[in-house]
Amino acid sequence: MKNNNQKKEKVNLFQKLQNDLSRIINETPPGERLKSEPELSADLGVSRATLREAMRSFEGQGLIRRRQGVGTFVLDRNQNIETGLEVLESIETLASRLGLEVRMGFLEVNQLAADEAMAAKFDLSLKSPVNRIARVIWISERPVAYLIDNVIPQVISLEELDDTFTGSVLDKILRRNSPELSFSKTTVSATPASPAIAKKLQLQRDDVLLKMEAYLYTKDGAMIDYSESYFIPGFFRFQVIRSIGNQNPGNG
């Protein structure tokens, strides 16, 4: 019984900490920096480790942004993107609709020789060339997504990725209207940020990211793009409109 009471007390204290932090965040104007971790932990009467755990949950909600060596800043919730998953659109298109500024940060392009897994995805011969395009997308002065596209050279060549490339492979194909696209098959999962991705997105290692793994198909049924997209969850709210299943399961 004593252990159960201790656990309950610990949960209640952590809930109080979250409530106190929520009040502080709500009272701080967007763009303003919160007090330092030592100051906040002293004010709230908790250890820095406990404070960091609570702060991580608020960062995941897109309410604050922690920058190592700089501080923790309150974010503008109106600059988050909320959209459905029924239609495939680029971040650039979604942000433009909301009047948000988008830019591409880190960009790395290279050509790979397809290994067995990649060759199977594209139905190519082993060691066939595949162009890999990796980049970080920023919205309103913050990195929000790390995108990796693997595309066959016939669809997008490395030479096409010049100064006019803004970060969206999808938009580049759609503007050219060749090849004609049909649908995207996508899986969604949660994944911890690797050290490399965490650095690019200015996160802590193992912070949770929303991962979308997608296969893009043409109207001819060819798979031309295999992508892995990593989103900071709090900056994106994806919705799915679902129809109701059989409402009379007993009838058959």
CATH number for the domain spanning 95: value is: 3.40.1410.10
With a cut of 90, say whether residue 249 has pLDDT above it: no
What pLDDT is recorded for position 193?
A: 92
Residues 119 and 47 in one domain: no
Inter-axis angle of helices 2-27 and 37-44, to 10 degrees?
A: 120
Residues 39 and 111 in one domain: no
Task: Let me know if residue 117 belongs to a domain.
Answer: yes
CB 143 within 8 A of CB 235: no
Q: Residues for the chain: how many in total?
A: 252
Task: Let me know if residue 116 belongs to a domain.
Answer: yes
> Across residues 17-31, what is the average pLDDT?
90
Residues 123 and 9 in one domain: no
With a cut of 60, say whether residue 183 has pLDDT above it: yes
pTM of the model: 0.79
Task: Let me know if residue 124 belongs to a domain.
Answer: yes
Residues 84 and 199 in one domain: yes
Domain hosting 66: range is 2-74
With a cut of 80, say whether residue 208 has pLDDT above it: yes
Domain boundary among 74, 109, 131: 74
Highest mean pLDDT among 72-81, 98-107, 180-189, 195-204: 180-189
Task: Let me know if residue 142 belongs to a domain.
Answer: yes
Greater confidence, 181 or 14? 181
Task: Let me know if residue 249 belongs to a domain.
Answer: no
The percent of residues above 90 in pLDDT, for the chain, comes to: 51
Highest mean pLDDT among 56-60, 118-122, 230-234: 118-122
Residues 155 and 196 in one domain: yes
Task: Let me know if residue 40 belongs to a domain.
Answer: yes
Residues 88 and 182 in one domain: yes
> Across residues 35-39, what is the average pLDDT?
91
Task: Let me know if residue 250 belongs to a domain.
Answer: no
Domain boundary among 22, 53, 74: 74
Task: Let me know if residue 252 belongs to a domain.
Answer: no
The CATH number covering residue 64 comes to: 1.10.10.10
Give one word for 219, left, alpha or beta, with left for phi > 0 and alpha for psi -120 to 50: alpha
pLDDT band at 3, cuts 50/70/90? low
Residues 235 and 169 in one domain: yes
Residues 165 and 228 in one domain: yes
pLDDT band at 242, cuts 50/70/90? confident
Number of domains within the chain: 2
Domain boundary among 74, 105, 133: 74
3-state secondary structure the chain: CHHHHHHHHHHHHHHHHHHHHHHHHHHCCCCCECCCHHHHHHHHCCCHHHHHHHHHHHHHCCCEEEECCCEEEECCHHHCEEEECCCCCCHHHHHHHCCCCEEEEEEEEEEEECCHHHHHHHCCCCCCEEEEEEEEEEECCCEEEEEEEEECCCCCCHHHCCCCCCCCHHHHHHHHCCCCEEEEEEEEEEEECCHHHHHHCCCCCCCEEEEEEEEEEECCCCEEEEEEEEECHHHEEEECCCCCCCCCCCCC
pLDDT digits (tens, 9 = 90+) for 63-95: 888 777 788 888 877 777 888 888 999 999 998
Residues 97 and 131 in one domain: yes
What pLDDT is recorded for position 13?
A: 80
What pLDDT is recorded for position 229?
A: 97
